[in-house]
């Protein structure tokens, strides 16, 4: 069966700093037309960084939820940037860690009903501690957390971020 939806027309209704919003008219598989509201986002890179049984985590206030979340180091891919470069950069900026190597673990689609963002999840190896170097409007704290403690945090529902759950569940 072919379930493809074909674009009839694309309309950008908002162009912003970190995202654009489109409202497209599409041709559905049954020949009817429909609309699709789509967020355009340049993507994210996230890094699983493990040493001596501990994983590097950051705690960050997330305005969308009004709460602080535990996440692995991550950031937005700049326009035209190689996501691998983003991963090295964010690990150093947020976590204060330089890595020699990044291996791709997952290409994750966070919410495919309306966003076209792709989050790449990497595993970093060959680690060397440097120092945190945050963006001007970025406020977060980094900690190395033991794996059994992380398992407990997941079981208690204290880890909510999608990319972080995927990365941790893959190694715990």
Positive/negative CA dihedral, 82, 166, 144, 125: negative
Q: What is the bridge-based pairing of β-strands 119-129 and 67-71?
A: unpaired
> What is the rounded CA–CA span in Å between residue 134 and residue 53?
26
Q: What is the DSSP letter of 88?
A: H
Contact flag: residue 93 with its own copies (CB under 8 A): no
Looking at 40, 136, 146, 152, which residue is catalytic? Answer: 136
Give the number of residues in contact with its own copies, rule: CB under 8 A: 62
Give the span between the Cα atoms of 113 and 134, in whole angstroms.
Answer: 32
Distance in angstroms (rounded) separating the CA atoms of residues 98 and 88: 7
DSSP state of 69: E
- Say whether residue 81 binds its own copies (CB under 8 A): no
If binding is defined by CB under 8 A, does position 107 make contact with its own copies? yes
Contact letters for its own copies, residues 22-61 (x by CB under 8 A): -xx-x-xxx-x-xxxxxx-x--x---------------xx
| Distance in Å from the first CA to the final CA of the chain | 38
Q: How far is the CB of 80 from its own copies (least distance, A)?
A: 19
The yes or no reply on residue 16 touching its own copies (CB under 8 A) is: yes
Catalytic residues: 136
Contacts with its own copies, residue ranges (CB under 8 A): 1, 3-5, 13-14, 16-19, 21, 23-24, 26, 28-30, 32, 34-39, 41, 44, 60-65, 68-69, 71, 76, 106-117, 119, 137, 139-141, 157, 160-163, 165-166, 169-170
């Amino acid at each position: 069966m072919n379930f493809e939806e074909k674009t009839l027309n694309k309309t950008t209704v908002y162009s912003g700093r970190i995202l654009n919003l489109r409202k497209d008219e599409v041709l559905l598989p049954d020949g009817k037309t429909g609309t699709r509201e789509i967020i355009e986002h340049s993507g994210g890179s996230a890094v699983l960084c493990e040493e001596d049984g501990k994983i590097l985590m950051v705690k960050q206030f997330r305005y969308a939820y009004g709460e602080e979340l535990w996440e692995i180091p991550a950031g937005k891919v700049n326009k035209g940037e190689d996501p691998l470069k983003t991963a090295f950069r964010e690990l150093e900026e947020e976590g204060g860690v330089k890595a020699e190597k990044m291996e791709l673990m997952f290409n994750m689609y966070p919410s495919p009903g309306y966003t076209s963002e792709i989050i790449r999840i990497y595993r970093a190896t060959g680690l060397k501690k440097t120092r945190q170097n945050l963006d001007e409007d970025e406020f977060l704290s980094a900690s190395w957390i033991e794996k059994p403690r992380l398992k407990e945090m997941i079981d208690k529902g204290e880890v909510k971020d999608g990319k972080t759950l995927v990365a941790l569940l893959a190694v715990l």
